[in-house]
Structure 1
Amino acid sequence: MNALNTLRSAFLISLLACSSLLPAYAEQADSLDLEALQPTREQMVASLNIVELLRRHHYNRIQLNDALSSDIFDLYLEQLDPQRSLFTAQDVSNFEEYRYRMDDLLLDGDLTIGFGMHAQQIQRADQRIEFALQLVDEGLEQLDMNSDEQILVDRENAEWPADEQALEALWRKQITDEVLRLSLAGREMEAISEQLEKRYSNQRNRLYQTRGEDIFQNYINALAQAYDPHTQYMSPENAENFDINMSLSLEGIGAVLQSDNEFTRIVRLVPAGPAQKSQQLEPADRIVGVAQGADEMVDVIGWRLDEVVKLIRGPKGSKVRLDVIPAANAPGDLSSREVSLTREAVKLEDQAARSSILEWQDKEQEYRIGVIEVPGFYLDFKAYRNGDEDYRSTTRDVRRLLSELQEEGVDGVVLDLRNNGGGSLQEATELTGLFIEQGPTVLVRNSQGKVQVLDDSNPGIAYQGPLAVMVNRLSASASEIFAGAMQDYGRALVIGEPTFGKGTVQSIQPLNHGELKLTLAKFYRISGQSTQHRGVVPDIVFPSLLDSREIGESSLPRALPWDTIAPADYNAGLQLAPFIRQLSERHLDRVASDAEFNYTLARVDLNKRMQEREFLPLNKTLRQEQQKGFEAEMLALENRRREARGEEALTEIEEKDPLTESIHALNQEDEDSEDDPFLVETGRILIDMLELNERLAHAG
């Protein structure tokens, strides 16, 4: 242990000695009590427990060796400085000495390196904040916003700044960029100065409140996420906020959030929650301010995720206001809008499946297609365990709705699983059983390679007619299991977007200090294909409303790969494959002149082109020209859409974005199904299948 103690002292001394190299503007760093940020005995014991759990029980069965040590090093460095704007190349060179030592130190319960690297990050962050505050104090007007310089949009893979001078030059560029963005969003310079002064002051206050527990959680999560993105250490405080999910058990807005560099980003909306009901928020929106009731808006850029969540949560019935940068904004556009929500607990009955009927008159033939929206795979566990005969569940509700729709004489049924993030695995299995006679529904493979087959053992089918399953990028987990089973059995057409791709199973392991969420198994379809990473690919693909590079399993670093195992023994009695080519051709012919589909495809392409820009000019005139060009293209697309619909052309972009409105329209209780072009087209595809079946029957 003497050698380890020497290593600890040498590393901390080398890091703290770096402070002598800091320029004069870093004097404020003296108020940081870095010496107090040391690992506790509890944390050391917890780290040893976590190392053992990962080595013995994680699905991946990865050895903690030099190769994994290198991965941990890169993950931690990325976590501390994701945009490579705090550390210099010399800092990183100093850290490199420990790239292949982290495994040995973690095996010994030694956390010094993690704490030491974080201490250096705190110093650098404090430098940057002080530098920014000085620029604000000197007057932002002195920043050159007419230069020929440009800034790299994403510095994730950029070179580290060579030295202190290069670091200062980068910070000046970044602050100039912030001022430009706010200026182009319509803010006056005085208001920008006031806003940035508050923002940086708040960030410094929060930096000074860094606790040893924060450092421990970050470092251990670099270890955990070297195994996979869903394996996660949660401190005692954050264990109660599992997955930062403000949904069923706590009053909030009904949204799942995650950190996105300095921003807090919405991952998904909880069905029937305040956020979804408001039709004002969508996945990938960024929350930059939070206010209680009528209080002043608090700027939360740069805040820790758990602190933002605390601000958003509150008593049922109280109001919270959010300042939000919409996901549909052009890259670099920081214009925001305010959203007011009333906090409430999400009730099971609010998330229940519901039905509607779409009607068509095709020549002399009338068609009626039943639609069942399934927001989640729910089960009232309490009532179920108490033996209540009327307990609520997805399967029970869908069975009842199917019966009602058949009494109405529908010609086919669409099960709408868009935005359905999953839920009860038992319900996914039982819902599958409503549409097949009997058989396997999903395979679960554990870390030892043993495969468990879950199946529907109840004979009988609740509905035997034509069936389509709608999915999108936010259809995940249990939704993917059900959609995959329907596709493998040939029981339903799967229509929409490739799904989220989460095909792993996690379990919570209690520790002496906090908890570990550990990936223990993977889901596989009965065909033997994993749902992991690729998700379920629809038979007929619709244009995506969401950026798959930002949302989905494939967007997560170190996500487990897609693979296959031996298929289950099942009987695919109905095969739709022979119809899919004809159905796709009819669909493409029909939507070629469909204004909504063409608009969506063009907007997705435009957004993608804007987001792929590598550099942005630090010149206000050039930046304005880029913004105007984007808006002009948007206006032209919107007017083409309006012309096709027989509506009057616009002279300027409306405040409400049609693409955003299309996203908000999904799964809204008061939304007319006939106003949803994707749902209507799914109904038409189902009618095409009916007609092809009739032709085949007549030909036979």
Structure 2
Amino acid sequence: MSLFATLSRSVAVAVMLVMTSPVALAQLAPTDEQRQAAVEIGDALRYGHYANIDFDEQWSQEAFQRYLDILDNQRGYLLKRDIEPYRHLEGHMDEVLFEGELDEAFELYNLLSDRHIARLEWLLERLDEGLSFDFESNERLEIDRENAPWASRESELDELWRKRLENDALTLALTDQDEEQIEDNLRQRYEGQLTRLNQTESEDVFGILMAAISSTIDPHTGYLSPRQSESFDIQMSLSLEGIGALLQAEGEYVKVASLVPGGPAERAGVLEPADRIIAVGQEDGEMVNVVGMRLDNVVDLIRGPKGSTVRLDVVPAQAVDMTRSHVVEITRDTVSLEDQAAHGEVIEVERNGEPHKIGVIDVPTFYVDFDAWQAGEEEYRSTTRDVAREIESLKEQEVEGIVLDLRNNGGGALQEANSLIGLFIDRGPTVQVRDAQGRIQLYGDTDAGTLYDGPLTVLTNRLSASASEIFAGAIQDYGRGLVVGTTTFGKGTVQTLNELSHGQIKLTRAKFYRISGESTQNRGVEPDITFPSLIDPERIGESSLDNALAWDTVQNVQYRRYGNPEDFIGALTAQHQKRAQTNPNFRYLERQSTLARQLREQHTSVSLNREQRQRELEAQEAEQLSLENQRRRALDLPELEEWLDARLDPSLNGEPVDGEGDEESEEEMPVDRAHVLEAAEIMLDYTHMKNAQRMAQR
């Protein structure tokens, strides 16, 4: 299999992320095919995985705990006494895997199944009795119970679920629904979950069990069922066919992990990473509540024919309460190479009353038209070829430097990362790939000459991953240019897809290393100059994933340094900070990032008192709205009355309002655009400093 370095592969396999075990009424049992597949998976992990795994008692304990966490991660179904009969599995998960002894693990799942169904029926009985909440109590509901102790008595869980029911009702009440609407919506939600539980099959249980086992090793290794193996997009990236978004489950909710460059969702500008989807509807018809729904079922609801419209009820990533949702519409479409093609522009930066031209090339992904390439066509599309054309165009326009924008670029074809580096260096290594046996294969640019040897800056963010990190790291190591923006994703591993007698296994087989010897894994590439960002690294990125492989180093290789950008970092940073202090968009990003972190740390529980809940929400959103309106006042933009309007305002949707490059529209650029403009400013600073240094040396 070709080496691909994509952010999409960092998204966990769907079955691995199923919330608290959807189950069927019937008792499920393992099949002989699954027993054999478990043995094969064990052999693959033992002999094929990059890591040297010791399947000892400690590993067994961790695997059993992972299984419990996936089954009941919020400690809301099982009692402590339910688990005790299965505690002996803590020391025998190796037998479950290597000998295919799956029966007791299935029995534990079936027990969870009974508890899950009973709890949903309990909730429906409460609805039958009629809601009687006045929302005047002083109680609070803990919203994250991942580390809570297991309940000892059924009455403890009854109390927990009473509060959850009250919170569900209050959440709907705060959206101005009356009692009848609240009861109808909750009944639909709970009955829908029961219906979906009845559709669970033995394969689902096996998938969850294998996910628990594989995720103790690293987050990118996982079992793919025969059904998942049918679609490359779903099995490898959870790409939502039709809208271009990568999803993963987070507790009861489905979260946007990233957007496919050039896809319908990105073009529409209505979704952002870490947004949560709580309902899905077609162009006509009612919205289907997807809270608690299996991830693959949510995928099926969102997929559809090209040209049709899907409606999503979305809670913004920055929202502190699930009541703050809004409905967006996205027209389904396919993503072509043209949509993802690199494209350039010229930004004019003024200094001392004089205009200066800086070129910017946006590289959404590392792509190549493999079919055309393999067919021997001379004019096949690829990242390197398209960037080369843009460079030639920018050189004709006499730009003083080039910014290569790799933000949101999740990777792609490794060969393209290598050849793209070759446009800026004269031959040399680009990346080291180390396998499980410690053997290192060196990849590099073998073509003589460079296409562009002028000043270069690479712009990154947290969603720049894999091949993007290889490129940015090589430019940094060679001293070929600056890296500015935010620390990258940290996806420095290589996966292959291997066939089993039943399904497939995605296996981490190697790690990427920079030519300096440093891994890109876990830590990512740190920029020379850091920009503020609204993407939370604790929620997005390799370091946010459980059991991510560690950062380490190997021996560096011999390579030529083209310059010493580090000599200018101090002066460049001082110039940048001076501008940032007076730049409304940068000040907004810094303050909003700090506020969002503070709100997350404070928001560990929610009030079940309507007035108190409303006050807390209003206070939190007032702070967010104040920051947004401070930004707008500084830019002479109209102020907003509500914070949520910021997500729906055209000046924040990722595109200029009046046309790209227009002087008037520059003031209405979204905060995201501020990174590009500041990168151009730094590029000009860097160019002038290098010129001054050369003059002094003469």
TM over 0.5: yes
Q: Hey, what does 1:542 align to over in structure 2?
A: 531
Matched, 1:60 2:51: yes
Matched, 1:581 2:570: yes
| 1:461 alignment partner, one of 450, 453, 463 | 450
Q: Cα distance, 1:663 vs. partner?
A: 7.3
Give, in whole Å, the separation in 2 of the partners of 1:215 and 1:668.
50
Contact 2:210 2:223 in 1 (8 A): yes
Provide, for residues 429-461 of structure 1, a one-character-per-residue CA deviation record: whole Å limited to 9, x for no partner.
000110011110000000011111101111111
Deviates more, 1:613-622 or 1:68-77: 613-622
Q: Cα distance, 1:579 vs. partner?
A: 0.2
- Over 3 Å counting, the alpha-carbon distance change for 1:103 and 1:197 in structure 2 is same
Q: Hey, what does 1:526 align to over in structure 2?
A: 515
> Percent of aligned positions with the same letter in both sequences?
46
The 3-state SS of whatever aligns with 1:506 is strand
Matched, 1:33 2:17: no
Deviates more, 1:111-120 or 1:397-406: 111-120
Q: Hey, what does 2:687 align to over in structure 1?
A: 690
**Counterpart of 1:66 in structure 2: which amino acid?**
E
Contact 1:217 1:234 in 2 (8 A): yes
Q: Cα distance, 1:249 vs. partner?
A: 9.5
Q: Hey, what does 1:98 align to over in structure 2?
A: 89
Provide, for residues 598-642 of structure 1, a one-character-per-residue CA deviation record: whole Å limited to 9, x for no partner.
111111111111111222222111111101111221232223222
**Counterpart of 1:450 in structure 2: which amino acid?**
R
Contact 2:283 2:310 in 1 (8 A): yes
Contact 1:69 1:101 in 2 (8 A): yes
**Counterpart of 1:193 in structure 2: which amino acid?**
E
Q: Cα distance, 1:224 vs. partner?
A: 1.2
Q: Cα distance, 1:538 vs. partner?
A: 0.5
Q: Hey, what does 1:293 align to over in structure 2?
A: 283
The 3-state SS of whatever aligns with 1:147 is coil
**Counterpart of 1:32 in structure 2: which amino acid?**
L
Provide, for residues 131-181 of structure 1, a one-character-per-residue CA deviation record: whole Å limited to 9, x for no partner.
1112222222x1352222212121111122221010111111111122222
Q: Hey, what does 1:430 align to over in structure 2?
A: 419
Q: Hey, what does 2:298 align to over in structure 1?
A: 308
Contact 1:603 1:659 in 2 (8 A): no
**Counterpart of 1:62 in structure 2: which amino acid?**
I
- Over 3 Å counting, the alpha-carbon distance change for 1:527 and 1:665 in structure 2 is same
Provide, for residues 621-670 of structure 1, a one-character-per-residue CA deviation record: whole Å limited to 9, x for no partner.
111110111122123222322232234555x2254326997874179997
Contact 1:247 1:255 in 2 (8 A): no
Give, in whole Å, the separation in 1 of the partners of 2:191 and 2:65.
30
Q: Hey, what does 1:646 align to over in structure 2?
A: 636
Provide, for residues 568-588 of structure 1, a one-character-per-residue CA deviation record: whole Å limited to 9, x for no partner.
111112110010011001100
Contact 1:245 1:257 in 2 (8 A): no
Matched, 1:85 2:85: no
**Counterpart of 1:272 in structure 2: which amino acid?**
G
**Counterpart of 2:675 in structure 1: which amino acid?**
F
Give, in whole Å, the separation in 2 of the partners of 1:237 and 1:560.
28
Q: Hey, what does 2:138 align to over in structure 1?
A: 148
Contact 1:360 1:368 in 2 (8 A): yes
Provide, for residues 409-435 of structure 1, a one-character-per-residue CA deviation record: whole Å limited to 9, x for no partner.
001101001111110000000001100
| 2:330 alignment partner, one of 328, 341, 345 | 341
| 2:696 alignment partner, one of 686, 694, 699 | 699
Q: Cα distance, 1:523 vs. partner?
A: 0.4
Q: Cα distance, 1:469 vs. partner?
A: 0.5
Give, in whole Å, the separation in 1 of the partners of 2:692 and 2:395.
23
Provide, for residues 438-497 of structure 1, a one-character-per-residue CA deviation record: whole Å limited to 9, x for no partner.
110000000011111101111111101111111111111110110010111111111111
| 1:230 alignment partner, one of 220, 228, 236 | 220
| 1:571 alignment partner, one of 557, 560, 572 | 560
Q: Cα distance, 1:261 vs. partner?
A: 1.6
Contact 2:347 2:661 in 1 (8 A): no
**Counterpart of 1:101 in structure 2: which amino acid?**
H
The 3-state SS of whatever aligns with 1:288 is strand
Contact 2:483 2:528 in 1 (8 A): yes
**Counterpart of 1:99 in structure 2: which amino acid?**
E
Give, in whole Å, the separation in 2 of the partners of 1:52 and 1:33.
31
| 2:355 alignment partner, one of 366, 374, 377 | 366
- Over 3 Å counting, the alpha-carbon distance change for 1:667 and 1:437 in structure 2 is farther
Give the alignment's Cα RMSD to 1 decimal. Answer: 2.1
Matches within 5 A, 1:311-322: 311-322=301-312
Contact 1:665 1:671 in 2 (8 A): no
**Counterpart of 1:437 in structure 2: which amino acid?**
D
Q: What count of residue pairs does the alignment treat as equivalent?
A: 666
Q: Cα distance, 1:203 vs. partner?
A: 0.2
Give, in whole Å, the separation in 2 of the partners of 1:215 and 1:443.
39
Matched, 1:284 2:274: yes
- Over 3 Å counting, the alpha-carbon distance change for 1:377 and 1:191 in structure 2 is same
Deviates more, 1:518-527 or 1:104-113: 104-113
The 3-state SS of whatever aligns with 2:150 is coil
Contact 2:215 2:547 in 1 (8 A): yes
Q: Hey, what does 1:411 align to over in structure 2?
A: 400
Deviates more, 1:665-674 or 1:416-425: 665-674
| 2:589 alignment partner, one of 596, 600, 613 | 600
- Over 3 Å counting, the alpha-carbon distance change for 1:620 and 1:636 in structure 2 is same
Q: Hey, what does 2:125 align to over in structure 1?
A: 134
The 3-state SS of whatever aligns with 2:345 is strand
- Over 3 Å counting, the alpha-carbon distance change for 1:445 and 1:129 in structure 2 is same
- Over 3 Å counting, the alpha-carbon distance change for 1:246 and 1:223 in structure 2 is closer
The 3-state SS of whatever aligns with 1:694 is helix
Contact 1:246 1:254 in 2 (8 A): no
Deviates more, 1:182-191 or 1:55-64: 182-191
Provide, for residues 198-251 of structure 1, a one-character-per-residue CA deviation record: whole Å limited to 9, x for no partner.
010010111122110100011011111111000010100011234637989984
Give, in whole Å, the separation in 2 of the partners of 1:186 and 1:542.
40
Q: Hey, what does 1:680 align to over in structure 2?
A: 677
Q: Unpaired segments of 5 or more residues in structure 2? A: 1-22
Provide, for residues 41-80 of structure 1, a one-character-per-residue CA deviation record: whole Å limited to 9, x for no partner.
1111111100001000101120222221111101111100
* TM-score normalised according to structure 2 size: 0.92
